[in-house]
Amino acid sequence: MTSDQINQFQKNGKIKINVEGTEKVLTSDEIVIKVVPAEGFTAAADNLIKVAIELRLDERLQAEGFARELVNRIQNMRKNAGLEVTDRIKLGISHSSQSEMAVKMFGQYIKNETLAVEIDDKVDRDIKQQWKINGMDTIITLEKV
């Protein structure tokens, strides 16, 4: 079936086709339409709406995800350390390719969300915790300014 025929079938619930010179009417009891996404995509459809989403995560999306995970962990550390919501901090994040990319691309976001005045890779501050973020051991340190 062509795309137009499929669309017509989904809209009307039946379709006329020509089989060896004879016109036949097929209904939804006789036809099953299955959405098969291309490699690297996922897809879903109903009668009139079709959606495909690319599953590949580019470098920017990976860095953003890592940055968001960092913010979550830092906020937990702030809370556990008894810091006030308005307290400014100095922030240390252990060096890795993922953390470096996250800080490079989303450093201002991390600072804004955690009230950090600076971010470096120092891991010798008083408040220190090791986390597993996206499968990578990451040490986060902070101190109140």
Is residue 73 domain-shared with residue 37, that is, in the same domain? no
What string of pLDDT tens digits covers the 145 residues of the chain? 777 877 778 788 888 888 888 988 888 888 887 778 888 899 887 767 889 998 888 999 999 999 999 999 999 999 999 999 999 999 999 999 999 999 999 999 999 999 999 999 998 998 999 999 999 999 999 999 9
Claim to verify: residue 104 and residue 66 sit in the same structural domain: yes
For residue 45, which of 58, 55, 32, 57 has the smallest C-alpha distance? Answer: 32
46 and 63 fall within a common domain = no
pLDDT of residue 110: 98
Number of domains making up the chain: 2
Comparing C-alpha atoms, which of 86, 90, 96 is closest to residue 136?
Answer: 96
- Domain co-membership, 20 together with 45: yes
Looking at the structure, tell me whether residues 31 and 68 fall in a common domain.
no
Asked whether residue 72 falls in the same domain as residue 112, the answer is yes
Task: Map residue 13 onto helix, strand or coil.
Answer: coil
One domain, residues 96 and 48: no
Q: What pLDDT, on the 0 to 100 scale, is given for residue 15? A: 86
Whether residue 39 is found in the same domain as residue 80: no
Pairing of strands 127-133, 50-54: unpaired
CA dist 49 and 17 (Å) reads 24
Amino acid 10: pLDDT:
77
pLDDT of residue 47: 66
Same domain, 78 and 119: yes
Query: Of 36, 54, 72, which closes a domain?
Result: 54
Is 16:25 a contact under the CB 8 Å cutoff?
Answer: yes
DSSP 85-108: TT--EEEEE---HHHHHHHHHHHH
Q: What is the pLDDT of residue 72?
A: 97
Residue 64, judged by CB atoms within 10 A of its CB (0-12, 13-18, 19+), counts as: middle
> Among 20, 39, 54, which residue terminates a domain?
54
41 & 82 share domain:
no
- Same domain? 124 vs 140: yes
Q: Which amino acid is at 9?
A: F
The number of CA neighbours under 13 Å toward the Cβ of 119 is 27
Q: What is the pLDDT of residue 6?
A: 77
46 and 102: one domain? no
14: containing domain: 3-54
Q: Domain boundary at 13, 29, 54, which?
A: 54
